[in-house]
Chain A
Amino acid sequence: MMRRPVDLGDPDRLYTVTGGRSRADDEKFDLVTLVVSECRPSPGMQSEHVRILELCRHPIAVVEISAELRLPITVVRILLSDLLSTGRITARHPRVARSHVDLPDSTLLEEVLHGLRNL
């Protein structure tokens, strides 16, 4: 695969996209949180929000949105926070806790093994 790094160019561009914010309010979105749109894009919406709503007609992970939009994860998290707070998307968060104290249980791992063996 060709590595084509996202052209960040001018950091100002990212600030335009996110309205001047550099991080999401909280860590709501894991890389593998699955996002689903709850409405169609409406006229006058920011183009990045429009693209996200189009991508999320079926569930799609945050990291896939980042790759499709060619925007860094941080920026995508901010854009998703906007859409979540206005009810335009819903988020299906990973079951595995984001802490290394809480390791996955054996039942979940058995399901994963079963899926892998069936590949």
Chain B
Amino acid sequence: MDSAISELPARTPLADSAETGLKIVVVGGFGVGKTTLVRSVSEIRPLNTEEVMTQAGVGVDDPAGLTAKTTTTVAFDFGRISLNDRMVLYLFGAPGQERFWFLWDGLFSGTLGAVVLVDTRRMSDSWYAIDRLEHHRTPFVVAVNRFDGDHPVFSLEEIRQALSLPAQVPLIECDARVRSSGKHVLISLVDHLHELARAREMTP
């Protein structure tokens, strides 16, 4: 069965020839299925980590200073896909809430692109993420997570309008639990990135 339920190994080492790490970020509201999507395509069981920052977002020189300040913590999870013997793709599931974007540059600059995962019952959760990605000039695709029982109340065209999504941004449907579907989402993103790169390279 083409399902994400199968057990993934906890931690398998990368090939010794691995030399290039790449990033793709999946952004979406709470419960939209980010971890599910990461797990469905990852070769390892998704891991979880976090970053901390002081309220002002700057380093503090003395310990006394830090204890006096409020620290903000953003947790995110990630999986891994070995693309070949040299290239490893890391897939991050990141919360779209406001404080997260303060950390974007420190964590996700240099990312290839992003997937905005949308739940049609909470579409407004995606507006902010789309706005921020545009602000950071990170190319992205939008994937609507349709799971069982989620009868497509809205057509893709209606969703595109609701999100005020420009025509050139790919909008696709997926089932985040299914490996082939998760794979299709990633391929759609990288296809889109490839088109953008080709267009840029053709421009003198």
Tell me if A111 and B60 are in contact (CB < 8 A).
no
Question: Is there a chain B Cβ closer than 8 Å to A103's Cβ?
Answer: yes
Check A30–B110 contact: CB distance below 8 A. yes
Residues of B within 8 A of A44 (CB): none
Contact between A115 and B49 (Cβ–Cβ < 8 Å)?
no
The reply to whether B16 and A104 contact each other, CB–CB distance below 8 Å, is no
Within 8 Å of chain A (Cβ to Cβ): is B152? no
Measured between beta carbons, the chain A residues less than 8 angstroms from B165 are none
Chain A, residues 1-29, CB within 8 Å of chain B (1/0): the string is 10111101001101100001011000100
Query: Cα distance A97–B41 when bound, in Å?
Result: 25
Given contacts A31-B90, A59-B16, contact A115 B81 (CB under 8 A): yes
Question: In this assembly, does A86 line the interface, its C-beta being within 8 Å of a C-beta of chain B?
Answer: no
Is A32 an interface residue, CB under 8 A from the partner? yes
**Contacting pair B196 A4 (CB below 8 A):** no
What total of chain A residues lie within 8 Å of the partner, measured CB to CB?
Answer: 55
Nearest residue in B to A100 (C-beta to C-beta)? B137
In contact, B14 and A60 (Cβ under 8 angstroms): yes
Interface size range on B against A? 35 or more
Residues of A contacting B39 with CB < 8 Å? 1
What is the minimal beta-carbon distance from A14 to any residue of chain B, in angstroms? 8
Query: In the assembled complex, which residues on chain B have CB atoms less than 8 Å from the CB atom of A67?
Result: 47-49, 78
On whether the beta carbons of B108 and A61 are closer than 8 Å, the reply is no
- The contact of B51 among A74, A103, A105, A110, by CB within 8 Å, is A74
- Would A104 and B193 be within 8 Å (CB), given that A1-B35, A11-B71, A32-B90 are in contact? yes
- 6 pairs, A vs B, C-beta closer than 8 Å: A60-B14, A66-B49, A67-B48, A72-B51, A73-B107, A74-B53
B residues in contact (CB < 8 Å) with A? 11, 13-16, 18-23, 35, 39, 41, 45-53, 59-61, 63, 66-67, 71, 73, 75, 77-78, 80-84, 87-90, 92, 106-110, 112, 136-139, 179, 183, 186-187, 190-191, 193-194, 196-198, 200-201
Q: Which 3 A-B pairs have the closest CB atoms?
A: A115-B83, A32-B21, A58-B13
